[in-house]
Chain A
């Protein structure tokens, strides 16, 4: 209460200043009057009484000042007047203020944006109650696992989930879930949304409450449930249904099966996967009707689920892990896939379950981007350092210009501390405005950053709120930069002997060596840091170049992929290949089509198949068999992708179900399995889990191509004829090459498919775009580090230019005397450039050391070059040296051109 009154009174005297002042004047005037009257009553005349009273009082203004100092608001007033003074100085110097604020805003903005992203994907916990209780259940150090892996988190199989749910003790609730794209189009072109498989315990364990209707529960998730309800996310509700309450009971088509919508999840709940979102959640029991014959529910070798739980009170992650470890032997015994061969089973039975803290959820975004983001934050931090050094340099220059002012103020009684405080307030003003603008900038920058990581097929969602960590980070940055660029110049500026400074009428004789030494140190560190950033920028852009220019072994442009799904036609096994071939024939007949083929795996899509290779026609090895990757293709695959056939033949129509198995292999396969000899005619069998195929005959050899991703080494690849596969898919993935616009091709493929049967689902993507999307991270690193590098070099060069210009101005007399005594222009230029060269040289050496030690962090992100790449270093040195020479040549030339008499006369 008292505090409040104090606050109010203080605010009153701040905002009703005139009135409070008036009252104070009146009160003191009254006091003075009364004193005078009293003295006159005692017999003094008016004059003498007034004089005596005034002496007693000691000056009205002084008393007022003392009264003001008795309350807190006076401090604010001093600060305020300092701020106003600072603002006035900055207004008088708009170029300096503008440059300072802009560089700070950019530096702080970039840092804040990156930190905001890091905060969102790394530091924040899941948007659920008591997130610290959430843990993930998975196999500890799983290696040598076999089976079918699908979804982003293929931790466990359905059978394991059932066992864990039944036997675990450490969790008050456990749930299983898996992300999956759902096609919600009723037919025709596919419209995929972000879907979730969730077990009945998902929402209740996480403690999520519906905003409308109800969420999926255990009752909804009963085996054999058919198509029960679906829960949709808040954003999906808003986007697709305009937030209408009538959405309850409406039907959503998921992969052509109707699901009634039973409820809407709250707005802030995006799931348990940071960086992603979900649109639709359906219970696990609905998986068989959605996935059809490939259902993973009953398959013991189908890995597709992630299991998480909420720890019981008093249970720690370690204790839960111990219990899970104890039940592991029996659990894996009970869930052993019957189709496993002894080798697979041996690995499988040794698995141990573990529990892992998951308070911040799961995130493949975090896995892929956490390290790059920290690295980018470090780079952005260096840029801010360079910007601060530049500002410090500017402030130092101003400090020497204001030497007289400071001396004068100290002479009339200001303390050094007071002056430093005032100068720091000025810096604080710059830092504050810079930080405020930077924070604004960061909001858009971080959204741009997320958008640049998001692709159409793989959309991201990052909750980019400004929380206390982000605010604290920005404030800390502002304070830090303020101290970095403000403190040393303020100390320097106030370190004057007033008498000496005022006596000197000439220029700058009081400037000792040290301020200039400080400026040199600043420039050297700027050069060193910008060199480090330049090396980083060049490393990442050269790495991206390596990846983009890499010969992957196939053509990347002008190729369209269409996935035509004919599941709804319910074709029998035998009819599918003929149907797909018929589709392919029709697609090939489209005008402008250069080549087309069907392939099971699109190279670089991230999908893959691998199996054991058993060499020869009989026998089985004791231990682990060597592994190769596989693709099932139709004739024309190599022609479509323009992969060179090195020997033998392509598949043709004669390779069919009834003819002997044939295979085409790549060079790496030949190297590995045929020991470099000609592999044509070689025989091998393929072991799939427990079953071994009939022998394959190698009929062709093709050039190496990348299989899973661009960064990998070439792998041994076996191509088999899709016509010889005994479990044909119910979709045809057709790769088409055409010189025409792919847009037209899409329309033509759609109408062709419609002619065959309008009841099929079609989706498209372009091969080139898919590969580009795979290089997202590399492109991001190259672009951002390039931007930072450029900025850093620009700032450092400005710094160097400033210092050299200053040096030239300071040594004007000396240079003039030299010229007057007959020194040539070249020798003057040489003198100045020598100075710049020394700074540059020291900076480069320190920078190289920094770059070498910092490069390790970037090592794993680079492709085709090492962090100590000599060419990159040479290029960086060349670049930085040439711009530095340019920047110092200008003041050097000016110095050489100057008229010596003019300079000397001014003295």
Chain B
């Protein structure tokens, strides 16, 4: 493998399609508002993933339309109004399915990468 033949992945960019799964996972424990979700993803991933609002909010809209998220306006801890997102039953099922599928694929990819060639 020569140094120039592979472009290393841009740091912080998400693998395509995983943002949805991360949002669902973040909301598994409790409903949160948009900024909270972004921070949470950043913190838990130890700043590997930085979520840009330009992809976060469209994802909220998409997941809400798919019936996996529900939203409501609530008071925040410092007495301001914010839109809280919560996982629906359907979303919970979707998260379970996606997690399982992700684990399966990740394991497979890991096996391929570790194989002696």
Contacts and interface: CB of A to CB of B under 8 A. Distances in A.
B14 interface: no
Interface string B4-18: 000000000000000
B66 interface: yes
A92 interface: no
B61 A70 contact: yes
Contacts of B66: 2, 6
B35 A34 contact: yes
Contact of A31 (B35, B59, B65): B35
B52 A56 contact: yes
A23 B61 CA distance: 12
A737 to B, nearest CB: 84
Nearest to B82: A30
Contact of B35 (A10, A35, A63, A67): A35
Interface string B99-117: 0000000000000000000
Given A6-B67, A9-B64, A58-B52, A63 B33 contact: no
B54 A66 contact: yes
B58 A70 contact: yes
B62 to A, nearest CB: 5
B35 A71 contact: no
Contacts of A513: none
A26 B73 CA distance: 11
A71 B61 contact: yes
Contacts of B59: 70
Which interface class (under 10, 10 to 19, 20 to 34, 35 or more) fits B?
20 to 34
Interface in A146-180: none
Contacts of A69: 58
A778 B95 CA distance: 74
Contacts of A5: 65, 67
A57 interface: yes
Contacts of B57: 24, 27-28, 63, 66-67
Contacts of B39: 38
A63 B61 CA distance: 12
A62 interface: yes
Given A27-B82, A70-B61, A62 B35 contact: no
B67 A2 contact: yes
A10 B33 CA distance: 22
Nearest to B78: A37
Contacts of A57: 52-54
A6 B68 CA distance: 11
Interface string A229-244: 0000000000000000
Contacts of B90: 2
A71 B60 CA distance: 11
Contact of A23 (B33, B52, B80, B83): B83
Q: Which of A9, A33, A66, A71 has the most CB of B within 10 A?
A: A66
Contact of B83 (A27, A38, A56): A27
Interface string B34-48: 110011000000000
Nearest to A58: B54
A898 B82 CA distance: 72
Contacts of A58: 52-54
Contacts of B96: none
Nearest to B76: A30
Nearest to B34: A31
Nearest to B36: A34
B54 A30 contact: no
B36 to A, nearest CB: 8
Contacts of B67: 1-2, 5-6
Interface string B68-102: 00000100000011110000001000000000000
Contact of B54 (A6, A10, A62, A71): A62
A67 B58 contact: yes
Nearest to A1: B67
Contacts of B82: 27, 30
Q: Which of B34, B57, B67, B82 has the most CB of A within 10 A?
A: B57
Interface string A55-84: 011100011001101110000000000000
A66 B58 contact: yes
A63 B52 CA distance: 10
A819 to B, nearest CB: 64
A24 B83 CA distance: 9
A10 B35 CA distance: 24
A31 to B, nearest CB: 5
A5 B66 CA distance: 9
Interface in A1-25: 1-2, 5-6, 9-10, 23-24
A716 B67 CA distance: 86
B31 to A, nearest CB: 14
B60 to A, nearest CB: 8
Interface string A98-139: 000000000000000000000000000000000000000000
B41 to A, nearest CB: 14
B58 to A, nearest CB: 4
Nearest to B73: A23
Given A2-B67, A6-B65, A30 B35 contact: yes
A28 B65 CA distance: 19
B1 to A, nearest CB: 34
Contacts of A35: 35
B49 to A, nearest CB: 14
Contact of A30 (B34, B62, B65): B34
Contacts of A1: 67
Q: Which of A26, A31, A35, A62 has the most CB of B within 10 A?
A: A31
A62 B52 CA distance: 12
Given A2-B90, A23-B83, A28 B53 contact: yes
Nearest to A5: B67
B18 to A, nearest CB: 17
A882 B1 CA distance: 83
A371 B34 CA distance: 69
A885 B51 CA distance: 72
Nearest to B55: A66
A6 B57 CA distance: 17
A809 B65 CA distance: 56
Interface string A244-264: 000000000000000000000
A710 B102 CA distance: 86
A27 B83 CA distance: 6
A2 B65 CA distance: 8
Q: Which of B54, B80, B90 has the most CB of A within 10 A?
A: B54
A10 B58 CA distance: 14
A239 to B, nearest CB: 56
Interface of B: 33-35, 38-39, 52-55, 57-62, 64-67, 73, 80-83, 90
14 contacts: A2-B67, A5-B67, A6-B65, A23-B73, A23-B83, A30-B81, A30-B82, A34-B35, A35-B35, A56-B53, A58-B54, A66-B55, A70-B62, A71-B65
3 A-B pairs with least C-beta separation: A2-B67, A34-B35, A70-B58
